Amino acid sequence: MGFELTKIWFSEKIKLLYLLISLVLIYAEYLKDVNLLYLVKPLLMPTLFFLYLLNVSKKEISRYFVLALFFMWIANICFISSEKNTMVLGILNTFLSRLSVLILILKCCKPPKTLPFIIGTFPFVIIFITVLGLLNDKLGDAFYFVLLNGLLVILLGGVALANYFIATNRINTYVLISVILFTFMRFIVAIDFYYLSLPIFRPIAIAIFSVAQYLLYMAVISINQEKQLNNNASAVS
């Protein structure tokens, strides 16, 4: 009992730390303080990683979620710079992170049937076509990376939305909201970098990103909890 209370206490403190780092990042993005961003932004994903480790057993650790956090950690560092080469590297690591998330969802949740999946992709296809239409002439070498990311987001969004319609449970709700927020965040970042830059865009993007990553963490934790309940039920029966 004492160990569980200690774990809960540490877990709450790490959650507060994650919130604090997110708020500092929002402030740093608003000021465009590059030094502060390089100091604080690399801490966000490791904080979520340690929160995850604290709340799962060693055998329950998802390698795909860990990989998703790792690639997103690299992407976050790359996105601090305004140079196009590092931006492309950031987009590539974002793609790898999203691919890890997609594999995680497909392994842990039942893949949707074809028709619900196709219907689920419609909103994300519309958003992607809109963004690509606005930015097509300005992407340069990043075009193919943006295209790959867009296709992956469409796949991820289709799976998330279809699963939500089929079974509106806690896991699917967390995943869907997270995917929608990630899509909206990438839309804002792309517009800010390639089309129209406004001071408020980056702070909004980092706020959305922090919430989306936390919801994804909650989805993974919920998946582990559901597995434990199923295992306990099987043991009793």
The answer on pLDDT for 1 being more than 80 is no
pLDDT score of 33: 93
Dist. CA 131–CA 36, nearest whole Å: 30
The answer on pLDDT for 229 being more than 60 is yes
First CA to last CA across the chain, in angstroms?
27
User: Model confidence at 72, in pLDDT bands (50, 70, 90)?
Assistant: very high
Dist. CA 10–CA 118, nearest whole Å: 43
Q: Which residue has the higher pLDDT, 175 or 133?
A: 175
pLDDT score of 139: 67
User: Model confidence at 17, in pLDDT bands (50, 70, 90)?
Assistant: very high
| Predicted confidence (pLDDT) per residue in 87-112, tens digit | 888 888 999 999 999 999 998 877 88
| Predicted confidence (pLDDT) per residue in 24-71, tens digit | 999 999 998 999 999 999 999 999 999 999 999 888 899 999 999 999
pLDDT score of 214: 98
pLDDT score of 86: 87
| Predicted confidence (pLDDT) per residue in 163-202, tens digit | 999 988 999 999 999 999 999 988 888 777 767 777 899 9
Dist. CA 140–CA 136, nearest whole Å: 8
Q: What is the pTM of this model?
A: 0.90
Q: Largest Cα–Cα distance of the chain, in whole Å?
A: 62
pLDDT over 70 for what percent of the chain?
Answer: 91
In the numeric block, the tokens 């691919």 are attached to 99
User: Model confidence at 228, in pLDDT bands (50, 70, 90)?
Assistant: confident
pLDDT over 90 for what percent of the chain?
Answer: 56
